[in-house]
Structure 1
Amino acid sequence: MVNSLAMQEEGYMERVEKMKEEVKDFIRSEMPQVEKLEQIDGVQRLGLGYHFEVEIKSALQAIIDGATNREGAFDDDLHATALRFRLLRQNGFNVEEGVFKRFMIEDVSSFRESLREDVKGLLSLYEASFYGFKGEAIIDVARTFSCACLENLKGDDDVWARKIDHALDMPVHWRPNRLEARWFMDVYETDRRDCSSPVLLDLAKLDFNVVQSVYRDEVSKLARWWVNLGLNKMDFCRDRLMEHYLWNTLMVYEPQFGAFREMSTKITCMITLMDDVYDVFGSWEELQLLTKFIERWDVTKIDELPSTIRTCFLAMYNTTNEIGYWIMKEQGFNIIPYLHKLWVNQGKTWLEEAKWYHEGHKPTLEEYLNASVTSIGGHVVLFCSYFTTSNKLSKEALEYLCSIPNIMHCSSLILRLMNDLSTSSDELARGDNFKSLHCYMNETGASEEATRRHIKSLVQDAWKQMNKDAHNYNPCPGPFLGACLNLARASQLFYQYGDGHGIPDRETKDNLKSLLIQPILIK
């Protein structure tokens, strides 16, 4: 058994490189097309896709160019058709929802009843349905039909039941890569029907442990930074360094992008700190003054601020400038003006929300979302995902991102709505802080149950729009697009069973253990 990764890291890396070559040969090899799709899916769900992007793209392009691209090529094989659809959209290829028409009744309003017994096909159809675009009616029908059928198949004690329960709990498209990989390894090993390539499983385990050791080093350095900063001693703000690091690791998980995880975790700490200043600490007059300091971005008259707020502002100011200095040193580009612009937007929306509270104003849902999608901080973090991972920054790309393109908005909207859905009934009754649920209920008189259904429908609509945007041209190369999707995925994870950030729950702690603490034992 492997008990000390640090002692064997060099041997690990040699084994990993050897196995990677074997997997490349495996992906390139000739095999039946359905088997090829299943193996590509296995590579990606085991968390290995980032090693084999070129080989996977080539293999999928070959499938598109081959005989399986013609209409009806898979005949009545729902699993193969749905898996092909999902993998092509997942990897940026165009494929129309019309491929599912042959499985539907004549008026295309529902899927054939005979498909209800096809467990494998239903599961693949269900997973594929989450890659739909806004306005695609067939995909919506596919989700409703497959979900209803799978609900009736839950409960049996076998591998298929485990897969169904996992999918209905959250589809693979909404799951963060590294945590899904950790779960899928166990299923892949248990289900010998899936485990047709032992080298994939062995490589996945080795790779997971190697990357985990990278994460451990990063978070230990950040812990020292946070303690030295001294803000963990302030009793009014949330001390969430580990959760912040988890957020950012789920957003950009590839080991080579440690600069993003370090700097974006620091930025996330500042977002939470300042959010707490505006929400629970500062008086209305103090918050107005603080917002002016953020707008001026000048510390010459810093003594005008109260002591605690002055400390918080200086922490944000210095952290931002330190990050700007690092980017200037590495790439010769000054990103501080762009970060400052986003901080100003943050300050204005935090102040607007504070004004609502102090004046007792009840915003409409539209009014609330116009401010709160910014105030939650997703825009700043996503901006970091570009300038810390791109090899060559450009003024055009930075200005494009500061304009908050639709894909950034949709990702932040999902973050906002999922955060709000974690609001408890008690919090709604107290009415302490405005949330989208309060706004909709006040505006329409809807029940809490109906309101939650409505907010969940907005989440699904945002995902559809983001799916479409991810396929369109984007002037920002690198992991930025993935970070937009992954911020939404992290939001789904953190707020699935409650407020896993504000009040870290058992699931959040378990996820931290899986990602950072517990290596996979290897025989």
Structure 2
Amino acid sequence: MRSDSWSDICRWNIDASEQLPSYMKIIYTGLLDVYNEIEKELANENKSFLVNYFVIEMKKLLRAYFQEAQWYHGKIIPTTEEYMKNGIPSSTYLLIATTSWLGMGKIATKDAFDWISTEPPILVAACIIARLVNDLVSHEEEQKRGDAPSAIECSMNEYGVIKEEAYMKIKSIIENYWKDLIQGYFKLTGVIPRVLLMSIIILTRVAEFLYKDEDAYTFSKNNVKDAISAILIDPII
């Protein structure tokens, strides 16, 4: 992605699409269509202003992707800390968590959105867990097809360790962030509505399920389809 293309996207205006290459124009206009559709839905509840939180998180995600593209094309392996900092938005969980609240009715107040927009520790923990469990099972395939370095490559390069040792380091980081996530939940109970906090916990559990033993997000298996069916179509009541 060219740096000027990134500036065009940040404008968040349909006119900016004229400056983009054709393949990006399709994606960009699609994003704006989603934005407009959500805004119209929320207008019925006099909450269309909340869409701005979605836009802010989308820009963070795109900025993180742009950083990964720069690393890839520049053949740069960042430090593990640099990678994890960028991994918070690139996990997509800042965006997904915030967007999920748009449909949660009156309980998701402006104050709640102001809180989640600060990237609180419980959400950061969810993001890093999601980013790292993904990396553990997908990094080899991603490197084969050509992608930015994952946490595994960053750890191997920075600490001079073999792949298996990098795995152990990453798994230890994941375990510590799970502790932060659970502690954050109990600390915030009574401050932030429990249903909103639980949405963050559940999103993290989804990531752990999808990337438990393999990249079931990219290469979906029957067990994933069965789980989704059991929850949404044939739930146990």
TM-score normalised according to structure 2 size: 0.89
The corresponding residue for 1:401 is: 116
Q: Select which of 472, 489, 493 maps to 2:205.
A: 489
* Cα pair 1:297 1:317 within 8 Å, conserved: yes
Amino acid at match of 2:13: D
- Give how far 1:291 is off: 2.0
Stretch moving more, 422-431 or 479-488: 422-431
Q: Select which of 64, 84, 87 maps to 1:372.
A: 87
The corresponding residue for 2:24 is: 309
Q: Would the alpha carbon gap of residues 444 and 428 (structure 1) be closer, same or farther in structure 2, given more than 3 Å must change?
A: farther
Q: State whether structure 2 residue 42 is matched by structure 1 residue 342.
A: no
1:44-85 CA deviation, whole Å, 9 max, x = no partner? xxxxxxxxxxxxxxxxxxxxxxxxxxxxxxxxxxxxxxxxxx
- Give how far 1:319 is off: 0.3
* Cα pair 1:386 1:478 within 8 Å, conserved: no
Q: Select which of 117, 126, 129 maps to 1:414.
A: 129
- Give how far 1:514 is off: 3.6
Q: State whether structure 2 residue 178 is matched by structure 1 residue 463.
A: yes
Question: 2: CA distance between counterparts of 1:394 and 1:325?
Answer: 18
Alignment of 1:172-251 (within 5 A): none
Question: 2: CA distance between counterparts of 1:311 and 1:334?
Answer: 25
Amino acid at match of 2:149: F
Amino acid at match of 1:302: S
Q: Select which of 357, 369, 377 maps to 2:72.
A: 357
Q: Would the alpha carbon gap of residues 358 and 467 (structure 1) be closer, same or farther in structure 2, given more than 3 Å must change?
A: same
Amino acid at match of 2:131: R
Q: Would the alpha carbon gap of residues 424 and 301 (structure 1) be closer, same or farther in structure 2, given more than 3 Å must change?
A: closer
* Cα pair 2:80 2:154 within 8 Å, conserved: yes
* Cα pair 1:441 1:448 within 8 Å, conserved: yes
Question: 1: CA distance between counterparts of 2:141 and 2:132?
Answer: 18
- Give how far 1:426 is off: 5.8
Q: State whether structure 2 residue 225 is matched by structure 1 residue 509.
A: yes
Question: 1: CA distance between counterparts of 2:70 and 2:25?
Answer: 21
Q: Would the alpha carbon gap of residues 428 and 291 (structure 1) be closer, same or farther in structure 2, given more than 3 Å must change?
A: closer
* Cα pair 2:129 2:204 within 8 Å, conserved: yes
- Give how far 1:446 is off: 1.2
- Is there any run of 5+ residues in structure 1 with no aligned partner, and where? 1-283
* Cα pair 1:414 1:462 within 8 Å, conserved: yes
The corresponding residue for 1:78 is: none
- Give how far 1:382 is off: 0.8
Give the secondary-structure state (helix, strand or coil) at the position aligned to 1:391.
helix
Q: Would the alpha carbon gap of residues 357 and 389 (structure 1) be closer, same or farther in structure 2, given more than 3 Å must change?
A: same
* Cα pair 1:498 1:505 within 8 Å, conserved: no
- Give how far 1:387 is off: 3.1
* Cα pair 2:91 2:128 within 8 Å, conserved: no
Q: Would the alpha carbon gap of residues 519 and 459 (structure 1) be closer, same or farther in structure 2, given more than 3 Å must change?
A: closer
Question: 2: CA distance between counterparts of 1:425 and 1:304?
Answer: 35
- Give how far 1:507 is off: 2.8
Q: Select which of 101, 112, 117 maps to 1:386.
A: 101
- Give how far 1:353 is off: 0.8
Q: Select which of 138, 145, 162 maps to 1:423.
A: 138
Question: 2: CA distance between counterparts of 1:430 and 1:346?
Answer: 22
- Give how far 1:376 is off: 2.1
Q: Would the alpha carbon gap of residues 425 and 313 (structure 1) be closer, same or farther in structure 2, given more than 3 Å must change?
A: closer
Question: 2: CA distance between counterparts of 1:479 and 1:400?
Answer: 15
- Give how far 1:317 is off: 1.1
Stretch moving more, 373-382 or 331-340: 331-340
The corresponding residue for 1:450 is: 165
The corresponding residue for 1:42 is: none
Q: Would the alpha carbon gap of residues 329 and 357 (structure 1) be closer, same or farther in structure 2, given more than 3 Å must change?
A: same
* Cα pair 2:69 2:148 within 8 Å, conserved: no
- Give how far 1:393 is off: 4.6
| Alpha-carbon RMSD | 2.3
Stretch moving more, 509-518 or 474-483: 509-518
Amino acid at match of 2:82: E
- Give how far 1:478 is off: 5.2
- Give how far 1:302 is off: 2.2
1:260-299 CA deviation, whole Å, 9 max, x = no partner? xxxxxxxxxxxxxxxxxxxxxxxx32xx343223311111
Question: 2: CA distance between counterparts of 1:439 and 1:481?
Answer: 31
- Give how far 1:465 is off: 0.7
* Cα pair 1:499 1:505 within 8 Å, conserved: no
- Give how far 1:310 is off: 0.8
The corresponding residue for 1:325 is: 40
Percentage of identical aligned residues: 26
Question: 1: CA distance between counterparts of 2:158 and 2:108?
Answer: 44
Question: 1: CA distance between counterparts of 2:16 and 2:9?
Answer: 12
* Number of residue pairs aligned between Structure 1 and Structure 2: 235
Runs of 4+ more than 6 Å apart = none
Amino acid at match of 1:486: I
